[in-house]
Amino acid sequence: MGRVVLGVDSSTQSTKVLAVDPDSGQVLARGQARHVVSEGAARETDPEVWWRALGDALAQVGEHARRADAVSVGGQQHGLVVLDGQGRPLRPALLWNDVQSAPQAAALVERHGAGWWAGRFGSVPGASFTVTKWAWLHENEPDVAKAAAAVRLPHDFLTERLSGAAVTDRGDASGTGWWSTQAEAYDEGLLDTIGLDPALLPRVLGPGEAAGVTLPGLGVREGALVASGTGDNAAAALGLGLAAGQAALSLGTSGTVYTPSVTRPADASGTVAGFAGAHGGWLPLACTLNCTLAVDKVAALLSLDREAVDPGGSVTLLPFLDGERTPNLPYASGVLSGLRHDTTPGQVLQAAYEGAAYALLAALDQVLAVDGAPSDAPLLLIGGGARGTAWRETVRRLSGRAVQVPVADELVALGAAAQAAGLLTGEAPAEVARRWRTAEGPLYEPLARDDAGLARLGGELARAFGTA
């Protein structure tokens, strides 16, 4: 029997495991287990839920897990995991889409200035960033902050449970707001300001560096290599084998658009987050909170199938159901305007698609411009929404770009698997993914860009929130 690598995607909603042949890229087996996320103002999950879900997913993979040669974890970004001295969670993890820390984010930006943050950390922190969540915890639950013996990101937590190593990678670390992309190190001055001891943080591994090997009794072969892992978007970029000038638009719980760059991003406007890439370069990225779940909520309110859209009409819908990250509107709610007697439910649903896609597509050119070289390469459409006709056609019409939909799915898990495979073969993970031909899929030619629709959306955004 040939070699096997395991790629893990621990996302907001579930943990997925792919067992992959590192030579051919063939997916040999799949496992998935759901998570429980709190409802209401807080967006939290007990990290033990992720660990149990990983165990369940590994059990579904079965024999392939028990003979795996290497494993890697891609995980949701930004989440704050606070542990005691035995590695047990002191409280539920604050997730990336929890916006309770919006006041702390505003205070941190006001204290230092947006330019300082962008120049030093590559990003201007909003309520998604881990640094704001720690500031919230420090202010609102000081006893928990004081009791913390370790602070981790979601993927770090699982990597440490698998290997015993307290490590992270530069891609995920760059989303904390306390790891400087300028210095490629934790910023101890900032950590002192927010009351976080750097000794509580994991060691940052470089691209291609292993975390260690798997511990016994975990449902995966003891002694298998464990890669550094990374955040979900950086893992998906590896899974696609992205090169500079190729942009991916991911339609999932969140919406993201990103591309690898050789230039370190530093956007003081906060639109483009200047993340480091797991490949060793940079990964400029724009992210929205409201994507497929927001559109599905509108469909449910209208008692429509998600594909039951109608063209035309005058409706504009900004589906900021949980606040928004891009643009930075953490206290926003949804806005519906332009209703007429002849407006159909399908037109309202179509407007939800347009509102969800608008901010991502508005940021696309800024993401691609980081290296100063505009690109007309097809936009790679990924994530759960990429399989939907309504999503694809909305993106084509509002972007005016060719769109390619990779046949390969579970690209975060595939990227993690490519990272694990690189430990065995000595290849860069993106080269592994290109050898696996993960980005191949049907190509849809560009449509004429709907400039009138874009202007209507931009005008409503400016009218409702004073921004565009």
Q: Which of 98, 156, 187, 232 is catalytic?
A: 232
Against a cut of 0.85, is the pTM above it? Answer: yes
Q: Is the pLDDT of residue 359 over 90?
A: no
Overall average pLDDT of the 359-369 stretch: 89
Overall average pLDDT of the 448-457 stretch: 94
Query: What is the helix (H) or strand (E) element at residue 278, kind and residue range?
Result: none
Per-residue confidence (pLDDT) for residue 260, from 0 to 100: 95
What's the chain's average pLDDT? 95
Q: What is each CA distance from 47 to 26, 159, 231, in whole angstroms?
A: 30, 12, 16
Per-residue confidence (pLDDT) for residue 244, from 0 to 100: 86
Plot region of 394 (φ>0 → left; ψ -120 to 50 → alpha; else → beta): alpha
Per-residue confidence (pLDDT) for residue 365, from 0 to 100: 86
CA atoms of 317 and 298, how far apart (whole Å): 10
Angle between helices 130-140 and 102-112 (to 10 degrees): 110
At 93-145, the pLDDT tens digits run 999 989 899 999 999 999 999 999 999 999 999 999 999 999 999 999 999 99
CA atoms of 270 and 268, how far apart (whole Å): 5
Residue 91 is classified by DSSP as S
Residue 19 pLDDT class (50, 70, 90 cuts): very high
Return the closest-CA partner of residue 112 out of 99, 125, 100, 103. 125
Percent of the chain whose predicted confidence (pLDDT) is above 90 = 88
Overall average pLDDT of the 190-200 stretch: 97
CA atoms of 100 and 91, how far apart (whole Å): 15
91-115 burial, b for 16+ CB within 10 Å, e for fewer? bbbbbbbbbbbbebbbebbeebebe
Overall average pLDDT of the 380-399 stretch: 95
Per-residue confidence (pLDDT) for residue 326, from 0 to 100: 87
Q: Is the pLDDT of residue 285 over 80?
A: yes
232 is a catalytic site residue: yes
Percent of the chain whose predicted confidence (pLDDT) is above 70 = 100
Per-residue confidence (pLDDT) for residue 398, from 0 to 100: 96
Per-residue confidence (pLDDT) for residue 468, from 0 to 100: 58
CB within 8 Å of 381: residues ≥ 6 apart: 248, 249, 251, 391, 392, 395, 403, 404, 405
Q: Is the pLDDT of residue 197 over 90?
A: yes
Return the closest-CA partner of residue 176 out of 50, 74, 81. 81
